[in-house]
A and B are shown apart, each in its own frame.
Chain A
Amino acid sequence: MATMDAISVSITDGPLGEPPARPDKGACGAWVVFEGVVRGDEGGGPIVALRYTAYEPMAQNQLAELGESVRAEFGVDCLMVEHSRGLVPVGACSFRLSIASGHRKEALAAMDAFIDRMKKDVPIWKEPVRG
């Protein structure tokens, strides 16, 4: 277990690495991790990878603000966002959201709300790369 900021955001080149350690929070009974993985088909045909573009630093700021907003709304303790930029091959992880909270219900609700809002507002784009 490790200590963790209430909100953490990172956008890094290529596929994401190993998931973060579970935070050292005695009051947290739930640790929910979602990983978005590149599918082998996109837009009606097979692909070999997705290429992500982020408008930075707006994308980082939007992710952090969204994290703060969701944390306050759902009462979760910690929220860690990781997103790829650049090329991510099929089968690799391009997005990870990790949430710690007292109970699972608010963590799962926060997870869903964060991802829905991210896909609407955060300036990150993906483009299929075909073989």
Chain B
Amino acid sequence: MRIEIRIFGAEARAAGADALAVDLDGPATCGSLREAMRERSPALAPALGWARFAVNGRYADDETEIGETDEVALIGLVGGG
């Protein structure tokens, strides 16, 4: 399945894009997406060590299952205020 991931801030600048598409086999989780993104975009590898995922607007742990219709975002270091 193909997962589209939205990317923001320093991570978007590192990746040179504000979104990334990753193909995953079989049942997918945020953890398997994290591994696939490391291979797909080496520029994001450092941030993928600690950045969080949000699934459908909520923070999600690596065990959270994801599908093609879910909205997934990589949330790196935030800086509001």
Contact = CB atoms under 8 A, between A and B. Distances in A.
Interface of B: 6, 8-10, 13, 54, 57-59, 73, 75, 78-81
- The B contact surface, by secondary structure, is mixed
Nearest to A58: B57
B8 A36 contact: no
Contacts of A126: 79-80
Nearest to B13: A127
Contacts of A83: 80-81
Contacts of B13: 127
B65 to A, nearest CB: 19
Contacts of A124: 78-81
Among B73, B78, B80, find the residue whose CB has the most chain A CB atoms closer than 10 A.
Answer: B80
Given A53-B8, A53-B9, A58-B57, A123 B81 contact: no
